[in-house]
Structure 1
Amino acid sequence: MMQQFYPAVPHEFRFELNKDLNFSAAHFIPSEDAGQCKEMHGHTYFVNVTVGGDELDAIGFLIDFKSIKKAIHKKYDHSVLNNHPEFENKFPTTELLAQQIWQSIQDILQATANKPTCLQVIVRETPTSYVVYRPRKEDLL
């Protein structure tokens, strides 16, 4: 796997964890404004999740890497994004996919005792195009 470097998110946490993963999924954007993307097509999405926190769990993890992969890969791999309930009234654009991945990860993190924070999600749709999602402070409350 080629090593990727992504934009860093400024923070003051002691620990920062980054997890890269990928999944294959199809989608379509049902709007004339979407051009060719209005037709069903697929991507191998590459995702980077950045988690920050000051406290580790009982075994010394900020969060187990496997739990991040499981939450995203199991949910989206080999699926049609349009069929997921979170896209019921929205088009599954890369921007909204990044936001939904952030929400899924943040929900998992907030259920842990050490409560780390998902600082950033990057979703690469093609080799030349990616989206960065960073929550606002009010999203973290």
Structure 2
Amino acid sequence: MLQQMYPQVFHDYSYELNKDMQFAAAHFVPHEEAGRCRNIHGHTYFVNITIAGDELDDSGFLVNFQALKKIVSGQFDHTLLNDHTNVFNDQNPNDFPTTEVVARKIYEMVQAHLDTLLNKPKCLQVFVRETPTSYVVYRPKKVKRHG
């Protein structure tokens, strides 16, 4: 994976973790205004997840890198994103598998996992690069600190 810098999220947490990963997947955007993107096509998605927190877990991790990889590439790699009907659908534009929605859905899946951890880290940002010239950054409006 090409080493690159990502947009920085300013915060006052003690720890910040960034996990890079990639997955190959196909998708199509089910809307007439999507043009050529209405056709099934594929990408190698490059993803960076930024997680922060003040407490480490019992193993000394903010969060285990392998857990993050399993949540994202373990689920989506070599699949048709539209087939993940528990995540995406063709009825609501907020659930179409566009890069914007993919970034938000990854955030939601990662944060749901983080919410189960005793040290309560927070996902601050998800960066998804769809092509060499196009990427999306998703940041939740507000990130609440625990405690």
CA root-mean-square deviation: 1.5
SS at 2:72's partner residue? helix
The structure in which a higher percent of residues are helix is 1
Residue 10 of structure 1: aligned partner:
10
Runs of 4+ deviating beyond 2 Å: 138-141
1:47-88 CA-partner distances (Å, limit 9, x unpaired): 000000000001110001111001111110111111112212
Q: 1:10 to 1:92 in 2, by over 3 A?
A: same
1 CA distance for matches of 2:60 and 2:27?
A: 38
Q: CA offset at residue 140 of structure 1?
A: 8.1
Residue 91 of structure 1: aligned partner:
96
Structure 2 unmatched runs, 5+: none
Q: 1:53 to 1:139 in 2, by over 3 A?
A: closer
2 CA distance for matches of 1:105 and 1:115?
A: 12
- Which amino acid in the other structure matches residue 11 of structure 2? H
- Which amino acid in the other structure matches residue 112 of structure 1? L
Are positions 1:36 and 2:41 aligned together?
no
Q: CA offset at residue 14 of structure 1?
A: 0.3
Are positions 1:112 and 2:109 aligned together?
no
Percent identical across equivalent pairs?
55
Q: Which one is further off, 129-138 or 111-120?
A: 129-138
- Which amino acid in the other structure matches residue 43 of structure 1? H
TM-score, scaled relative to structure 2:
0.91
1 CA distance for matches of 2:145 and 2:47?
A: 21
Q: CA offset at residue 137 of structure 1?
A: 1.3
User: What is the aligned length?
Assistant: 141
TM-score, scaled relative to structure 1:
0.95
Q: Which one is further off, 72-81 or 85-94?
A: 85-94
Aligned positions of 1:58-137 closer than 5 A: 58-84=58-84, 85-88=86-89, 89=91, 90-137=95-142
Residue 57 of structure 1: aligned partner:
57
2 CA distance for matches of 1:29 and 1:116?
A: 33
Structure 1 unmatched runs, 5+: none
Q: 1:140 to 1:29 in 2, by over 3 A?
A: farther
